[in-house]
Amino acid sequence: MKKIMFVCHGNICRSPMAEYIMKELAREAGVSDQLHIESSATSREEIGNAIYPPAAHILSLHGIGSKGHRARQFTVEDYNSFDLVVVMEDYNLRNMLRIIACDCEGKVWKLLDFTSDTLQRTMGDDISDPWYHGNFDKTYNEILTGCKALMKYLGY
């Protein structure tokens, strides 16, 4: 089983959107039993909070549920137990490295790394943050593109 952790700043918008989109893509591909997917935050600001209502709403418009999500912070133990740690942007990457000190196993990627023809870890574009621009459709589409590319990278 491949274990994937999606990470953003607060774990209330982008990373849970990625978690639930990826779970839906895995379900559609018939490989849910082959992937373990979670999400977390680099910060402690939103720990215990539900997914941000506009993020939950955009998921629901696409038939994707997010009930029961609670924000949590990424830990060194997560790094040790997950196969891939997928961040949304450079800012998350910098904060991730503060938590783990070293990506010595090469597990950390940016989600849009997987969309490039020349797959280079942590060199992809950033997923835009809807917390600041309010365009959850745009962020949904960016995440969907990244998750589809990640599924292809994983061989599904």
Does the annotation count 8 as an active-site position?
yes
On whether the CB atoms of residues 74 and 5 are closer than 8 A, the answer is yes
Distances (CA, A) of 131 to 46, 83, 145: 13, 28, 19
**Catalytic position from the list 8, 78, 113, 147:** 8
Give Cα 62 distance to the centre of its chain.
17
**Catalytic position from the list 13, 14, 78, 147:** 14
On whether the CB atoms of residues 142 and 127 are closer than 8 A, the answer is yes
Q: Which residues pair with 143 in a beta bridge?
A: none
**Catalytic position from the list 13, 113, 129, 147:** 129
Does the annotation count 90 as an active-site position?
no
Does the annotation count 14 as an active-site position?
yes
> Mind telling me the catalytic residues?
8, 14, 129
